[in-house]
Structure 1
Amino acid sequence: MKTMKWMLQREIWEHKGAFFWAPIVVAAALVLLIGGGFVYGMITTNMANIQVDGAHVVSIQGIPHEMRSKLADVIASSYLGAALPLFIMLPVVVFFYCLAALYDDRRDRSILFWKSLPVSDQDTVLSKVITALVVAPMITIAVGVAASLTLLIIGLVGSAAKGLNLVAPVLSDINLYLSPLYLLAFLPLYILFALPTVGWLLMVSAWARSKVFLWAVGTPLVAIVVLKWVDFIIGRFANLTLNVDWFVQEVVLRGLMGLLPGIWLAELDNSSLAEVGEGLNGGILLAHSYGALATPGVWLGALAGAAMIFAAMRLRRWRDEG
């Protein structure tokens, strides 16, 4: 246990810029741009007259109580949306981290040093899997929640200064406190759907001698082209067809895009998506998201990801000894 803790600290230390400082810089930029823009707008814009539901309201204090409650509920339910750029950046960071995780050690020969330590190849690869699937998302969640709360405070204080005091309604809304917990509850889903991608990237990183990106991305694309060509030939002369679209969606896209947060929504049917899209209830979104686990492809993909991680463990030793 202590060995794994030390190895995780090593991964964070070696990639502090990508996992720690990059989210902080992006979060600071969001607070500066969005928060600063809001404050500037509050200062320079006259908010004495506004419109609510198409009706002209003379004073901002004249907004109906039920409208204030509804507005507070929307704010408390959706304030974490401000952290969306961080979660767009997360898959990019993890993608290139996994690509370089086992390849860079062989390229700069630092693998010889790490091999001299009493650490197995299994522990080394496992530490990188945990870093990609747990540590990096947790850091992003923490930074995202902090940035969103900062922007929420700026918005509430600025609105109160203009006469629209929503501090009490927002603070009394349960969604304000449940939203970060909902975000954490999505982590097991993220791990399951990201396993095939992480497994594929680590396996390529352990196997490729050069041009890791081309092997990881180019190989599936070449496979699609070949299958499309074979499907055309078979359809032309034998009146048969291959289900290439299934291969593209269930193998290639699942294998390359599993790191995207929320990709499990693609597994939901139209009725579930319609119910999710009706409001901002995190509980409904969470419940329907876990419904995606009823799809066998999710578990088959996770098993394939675990198999590729095991292959990466074996390849790391074989490549070094070979």
Structure 2
Amino acid sequence: MSIARSTRVESPTEQRNPRTVDIDRLPAAEILRLLNDEDRGLADAVRVVIPELARVVDETTARLDSGGRLHYFGAGTSGRLALMDAAELIPTFGLPPGVVVAHHAGGPAAMTRPIEGTEDSSELGEADAAEVGPQDVVVGITASGRTPYVEGALRRARAVGAFTVLLTANPGALLADLVDVHLGVDTGPEAIAGSTRLKAASAHKLVLNSLSTAVMVALGRTYSNLMVDVAATNAKLRGRAVSILVEATGHDEAACVDALGAADGDLKTAMVGLLAGCGPQQAREALRDNGGRVRLAVAAARRP
């Protein structure tokens, strides 16, 4: 019998919040102040789990560098957050589709309306995790830390040797024993008891933002704090690429336009060429030999 089905322990998010018991008696401005007060500690709550999150970032970076993938599994709000994070990595960092994959209980239809029973099926989670391999990282997202769909996915992932992570708003989550790392963000009782679309979801968005952004930085998909995997496929994006080149290299706009043209629109190639003072071919080879990381490629291209 699964952990999630055998024991029903109340999550902190389901407890009544003593600070908001009179919320239904208040005018709008006071309701908003109460909600804002509850949100103010979220960044500090996330900060507590940074040591564990750093381990996840390092493991995910190494596995993606070796051809593995990052999988998110969640139901309801958790699944929607996962889908949003995975989707936004493609335009922001030029990540190929399929490297970070979000699995939502009930599939795409459940994005806009609840589909009863899907989150309570560990079998569905296990089936959705069938594509997970031993080189992958699997992050199960569940505010309570007991969602059967997530449990099934984590059990399958663990069985094949994937690196497993649980993201919850419950430091005492029942599923923590199933994973390599538990990110139990202590967000406490929600302003509306059990409404995890509030603090728990906001904290989880912060964690997912931090996880995926740190991994993209570690994989060399930024130079300094600039996006460098922008594909200059239209006039707007070519303009953005030129602006990034100007910021990164200190060259004037005309030189950056010329460099981008010589590099066939590839921003990284143009950047390495300008920073290292080399031609596009040498810049491409340096990037290829250094995993697409601009700093390493510049250093290599400058060597005699």
Give TM-score scaled by structure 1 length: 0.23
Give TM-score scaled by structure 2 length: 0.24
**Structure number having the greater strand percentage:** 2
